[in-house]
Chain A
């Protein structure tokens, strides 16, 4: 093993990156694009649910209920003088998410009466959240009315028997951005590391430089380490860039240790880069390498890592598969460091798996780098 040969490959590879506007642009633009897209545009928070209310009763009681909806930031009551056709039209044209129908005998039936909620279920995620919100508002209203009545009858102040006292521990504002942005960093790194690296060996085969290179005293491992370290610089730059954006642009609280964050990022990046090199060495063609790289790195990191979609909600088989997606462990670590401030003590197992993965893939990549051309 010669440090000088590794350094030579590193320098050469770095010159390739710097001089190829496409790969450099990809390396810098992808993180910016993704941070912008996911940090600003993607929000899973359900606020200002648009609604139309059809008040058939038009009584003080019904107006109280309407007031409860109008007073909450979770709802955006577009009209209180709707009717069935306007609700139907609103839902069909995606103008509203639900319609609330208060029956004409609402006041009379109040003690055992119902209101009707017409909900657009086509976006099931929003619908279920809206349903929970609406139910809560109506239940609260019913509770208050019941309590008022009891107070009036008994002359005493009656309180509900059980109340849930909720205290949110982490991410207390329940902002989805706070959990999307830390989880986004693994996705970005996976793209940069695996996708860009997957394109770093195939060109040597396609341009005929591999034959010349392999005939020199360079060892396959040196070639691999040299290339890996050049892309490592790129990946590290992207990590720092994403971190700065997360903390200063999106104001995501960073509670845990920076050192642990650095260590786990280093290990994850090393594994992801090795995966890219493995693909590149195994395919020998840029086109195939690119496709395999995209399918095997970006998609699993995006879908199966728990970045947005909670692993716990997945079917058993898929949940089992996620155990083999290194991004899952890194996402857990990132969210843990950012939002909970936990470190090695809690997440040593995740870190261990990341290390095991990195070592296995690196070994595989080395075994794929044969000093032969045929």
Chain B
């Protein structure tokens, strides 16, 4: 059974098309990552799934319910964490958590140990009585997450949940999520961190409102035409310019101190300089696909 079904989904705001003819099915228990540049339509897609925004065309089913007409049934099944911090700045960490616990109907007996576990896991215990408005950006994200994780919904929708969160907390956060998925929860997460996308069972790549690639990270990498090379240049800029002048070079992208080169299979980059073929990262795939899309358009 599908947790989420999207058929021919289109959403326009006036003359702007945010989502165009999107088809997607996500199975129960899946971890699905939604990636894409800003303005690709990720947030709008998630909002439509929560019934916060109604689509212009197309059908959606969330846990078997229609978010347009059966909004309340959908909301009983899901938990959504908005991209913009949506908690109350003048309430303390604990008051915010208690408020959401009440909304979700968490019993007092489960709430106390759960709160302690979450506060411990996110290392937020010392800030329990601090107003949310006085937390740092990363701590705010953690608070929002704690509120989201207070109950165990069938489907968890997270919109860029780790934006501004430090790497250590990000890792902790994913450990928590993986724990939840073990329990059979379906997870849909939009992210701009591609290392996080690697942790997803499947990744959907959105661009200008369309889902242009969809599959497991391994599938997406395998489906890429051409080869990826890694070059360790002495002069980044000069080498980049030199590479881009060659025929059959599809893209050059800096990655740390190295350059990742996407090239046609007929080209052998090691003929010109020291280079080795590498397995592309999701980031390489993402950049290559988006660049190709933009050239195409």
Contacts and interface: CB of A to CB of B under 8 A. Distances in A.
A-B complex is real: yes
B225 interface: no
A12 B95 contact: yes
B53 to A, nearest CB: 5
Given A211-B52, A374-B47, A374-B54, 9 more contacts: A5-B103, A12-B95, A211-B47, A211-B82, A212-B82, A212-B87, A217-B76, A218-B103, A371-B52
Contact of A373 (B53, B78, B88): B53
B86 A211 contact: yes
A374 B55 CA distance: 10
A124 interface: no
B71 interface: yes
B117 interface: no
The 6 closest A-B pairs by CB, nearest first: A212-B86, A8-B102, A215-B80, A208-B84, A216-B103, A373-B52
A11 B86 CA distance: 18
A4 interface: yes
Contact of B82 (A4, A19, A208): A208
A211, A216, A371 interface centre (most CB from chain B within 10 Å):
A216
A24 to B, nearest CB: 12
B127 interface: no
Nearest to B106: A4
B103 A8 contact: yes
Given A12-B91, A12-B95, A208 B102 contact: no
A15 B90 contact: yes
Contacts of B98: 8
Contacts of B51: 371-372
Contacts of A211: 47, 52, 82, 84, 86
Given A8-B102, A216-B103, A209 B52 contact: no
Contacts of A15: 90-91, 95
Given A212-B81, A215-B75, A372 B90 contact: no
B154 interface: no
A215 B82 contact: yes
Interface of B: 13, 47, 50-54, 71-72, 75-76, 78-82, 84-91, 95, 98-100, 102-105, 144
A217 B87 contact: no
A216 B102 CA distance: 11
Contacts of B80: 212, 215
A217 B102 CA distance: 10
Contacts of B75: 214-218, 371
A319 interface: no
Nearest to B131: A19
A213 interface: yes
Q: DSSP class of B's interface residues: helix, strand, loop or mixed?
A: mixed
A4 B91 contact: no
A172 interface: no
A123 interface: no
Interface residues of A, number: 28
A212 B140 CA distance: 14
Given A11-B99, A12-B91, A371 B72 contact: yes
Contacts of B53: 372-374
Interface string A8-26: 1001100110011000000
A16 B132 CA distance: 13
Contacts of B84: 208, 211
A2 B104 CA distance: 10
Given A15-B90, A16-B88, A209-B86, A217 B52 contact: no
9 contacts: A16-B90, A209-B86, A209-B87, A212-B87, A213-B86, A215-B79, A217-B104, A373-B47, A374-B13
Contacts of A371: 51-52, 71-72, 75
A342 B94 CA distance: 51
Contacts of B85: 208
A7 B102 CA distance: 8
B173 to A, nearest CB: 18
A125 interface: no
Contacts of B13: 374
A313 interface: no
Interface in A219-247: 219
Contact of B103 (A208, A217, A372): A217
Nearest to B49: A215
A368 to B, nearest CB: 16
A129 B283 CA distance: 87
A165 interface: no
A2 B105 CA distance: 9
Contacts of B50: 215
B160 to A, nearest CB: 13
Contacts of B54: 372, 374
A213 B88 CA distance: 10
A2 B86 CA distance: 22
A215 B52 CA distance: 7
A209 B143 CA distance: 14
A371 B78 CA distance: 15
A214 B80 CA distance: 10
B86 A216 contact: no
A230 B267 CA distance: 71
A357 to B, nearest CB: 29
Contacts of A2: 105
A4 B105 contact: yes
Contact of A8 (B81, B90, B99): B99
Nearest to B89: A207
B66 to A, nearest CB: 13
A254 B90 CA distance: 42
A20 B86 CA distance: 19
B88 A374 contact: no
A372 B91 CA distance: 24
Contacts of A8: 98-99, 102-103
A215 B82 CA distance: 9
Contact of A12 (B71, B76, B99, B144): B99
Contact of A217 (B81, B90, B105): B105
Contacts of A208: 82, 84-86
A194 B268 CA distance: 75
